[in-house]
Chains A and B, each alone.
Chain A
Amino acid sequence: MGRITLDKITKSFGDVQVIPPLDLTIEDGEFVVFVGPSGCGKSTLLRLIAGLEDVSSGEIRIDGKNATETPPAKRGLAMVFQSYALYPHMSVRKNIAFPLRMAGMDQKEQDRRIDNAAKVLNLSDYLDRRPGQLSGGQRQRVAIGRAIVREPAAFLFDEPLSNLDAALRVGMRLEISELHNRLETTMIYVTHDQVEAMTMADKIVVLRAGLIEQVGSPLDLYKHPRNLFVAGFIGSPTMNLIAGEPARAYDATTIGVRPEHMALSTESGKWTGKVGVAEHLGSDTFLHIHETGLAETITVRADGEVTLRHGDTVHLTPVEDKIHRFDGEGMRIS
């Protein structure tokens, strides 16, 4: 079981309040991703849940029990750190065994769990090596192995993939998702990468300056961003945000149109502009359109076969029922 409830928790460092009162419930078995720009308090929030930092006020409950004052080890949570944080002087086997040894588990059970975890994570051949002799991806697997063997109530991941190269990151992303499907254990995952958030999460929590901007499923956030911040943060390439006269035509201060909701034509359309850069990805082409009078750049997703070049004039028309409207405060108008 791993239901985690945060009840009006706050965190201050000296006079600076980095987490204003915050409420959040994470259901058992959920994959929750905390996402936001750097310095938004997402890692601090994770460390509060882990117990590595003390909350300034409020209550943390794990499976209904108040865990606010419980030391990290007693919370039944396992954490995977960005730097892997393996013990460099111990072999892989000893690294994975460390939490079990601290818990005083008998040797037989220890071995059973280690061998299981090693099999799941493809580490069986590396058990006698030191972390220094492993690649980044293997080290990350060891860190995950050390978390798995404890059979925790929930896993906490603090930007676990940011030290890996791009190709490996995609692979590990899948592995972690598969692990979640298999274990069905609660996972809380912190990242600044919205692609990771979108691809892995059951539920995304978007944070800015310690405040929760929106909580919801990836598609919910994508389709119905509650405010301009979420609209601009979720989605890649980012949503086109247009203010001024074109927005007023829709009774809004700002309107947002996703790149895939902008129809492209060389003959006619609502708005006109010139092609700046065309990014050919094969399956899609992303066109960066300038001189539209709407915003500095408007990004449009077009077919992979598009042959438009730098300097070509194009016409754009938004898909009317896909336009997001925001008021003067930046909140969504529904």
Chain B
Amino acid sequence: MARAVSTRRKAAVTALAWTIGILIFFPIFWTILTSFKTEAEAVATPPSLFNFNWTLENYTTVQDRSNYGRHFLNSVVISLGSTFLGLVIAVPAAWAMAFVPGKQTKNVLMWMLSTKMLPPVGVLIPIYLIFRNTGLLDTRVALIIVLTLINLPIIVWMLYTYFREIPGEILEAARMDGATLRYEILYVLTPMALPGIASTFLLNVILAWNEAFWTLNLTAANAAPLTAFIASYSSPEGLFYAKLSAASTMAIAPILILGWFSQKQLVRGLTFGAVK
């Protein structure tokens, strides 16, 4: 039975939700706003909300000073590449863990998750040295490898949770019907898990796109993605808030748009399994 909710309570909860929503969104909103101000207006006190001279100057300056296109391309290649590679490794792994679990499956999963608790800086030096010695430093390949490894536990966990929801009997039926393992995964498992695979894909593209620690530390000029592009505007010779904001806006815009269009899929993916 549905619980009766009073109008006043509803109004209060709605107001609270809006307040939290606005608080979370405000920094992004302010960044976008600042990107249209002049440097002087950007640091003016009191700051003006809409009452300033709107200008696109920052965008043209940023475009002149650095190569947005190259950074953007690097971001796309690195985030898509690491997500694809991760899925190729994780789908069979999650299949095995979900449908033919062994005694150690739970432990392996926990162990994978525990690697996410390690501060990345703890392995920075060895990874840096390995990449330097193999000549992979400042290459997209290096970042694809690192980001795949970093996000693999999350990809496996998400797919595992999804696959667990698929009744094993359906896969057994496929086996009885003559499907080989390849067909079983291709024709039965994957179509049934497609919503899950899609949200895993989206989430990991976003995670890889936003990843800043490794992308900043392992790149210089060639493979630098948009995170490095933003960072280059927070230089030691004085901050240029308006230009930094313009760079940030340009860097987050693609992923913000992707997130906006896929939010339904993302929410469904993240809450999957919570309600049967």
Contact = CB atoms under 8 A, between A and B. Distances in A.
Interface in B165-193: 167, 169-170, 172-179, 183, 187-188, 191-192
Nearest to B166: A88
B179 A79 contact: no
Nearest to B167: A83
A107 B175 CA distance: 21
A72 B178 CA distance: 7
A78 B176 contact: yes
Contacts of A146: 173, 177
A85 B175 contact: no
Among A78, A81, A146, chain B packs the most CB atoms within 10 A around the CB of A81
Contacts of A99: 176-178
A52 B176 contact: yes
A73 B175 contact: yes
Interface string A67-90: 000011100011101110111110
Interface in A84-129: 85-89, 98-99, 102-103
A71 B175 CA distance: 9
Nearest to B172: A52
A285 B107 CA distance: 59
A298 interface: no
A50 B175 CA distance: 10
A89 B173 CA distance: 14
B167 A85 contact: yes
Contacts of B177: 73, 98-99, 102, 146, 150
Nearest to B191: A89
Contacts of A98: 174, 177, 179, 187
Given A73-B178, A103-B178, A81 B192 contact: no
Nearest to B103: A14
Contacts of B188: 87
Contacts of A89: 191-192
A83 B192 CA distance: 16
Contact of A79 (B173, B183, B191): B173
Interface size class of A (residues with CB under 8 A): 20 to 34
A102 B172 contact: no
Among A71, A73, A85, A99, chain B packs the most CB atoms within 10 A around the CB of A85
B170 A85 contact: yes
B192 A73 contact: no
B191 A85 contact: no
Contacts of A73: 175-179
Contacts of A150: 177
A87 B170 contact: yes
Contacts of B170: 85-88
A81 B178 contact: no
Nearest to A77: B176
B167 A72 contact: no
Nearest to B190: A89
Contacts of A103: 178
Contacts of B187: 98
A83 B168 CA distance: 10
30 contacts: A52-B175, A72-B172, A73-B175, A73-B176, A73-B177, A73-B178, A73-B179, A77-B176, A79-B172, A81-B169, A81-B172, A82-B169, A83-B167, A85-B167, A85-B169, A86-B173, A87-B170, A87-B173, A87-B174, A87-B188, A87-B192, A98-B179, A98-B187, A99-B176, A99-B177, A102-B177, A103-B178, A146-B173, A146-B177, A150-B177
Interface of B: 167, 169-170, 172-179, 183, 187-188, 191-192
Given A73-B178, A89-B192, A146-B173, 8 more contacts: A73-B175, A79-B176, A81-B173, A85-B167, A85-B173, A99-B176, A102-B179, A103-B178
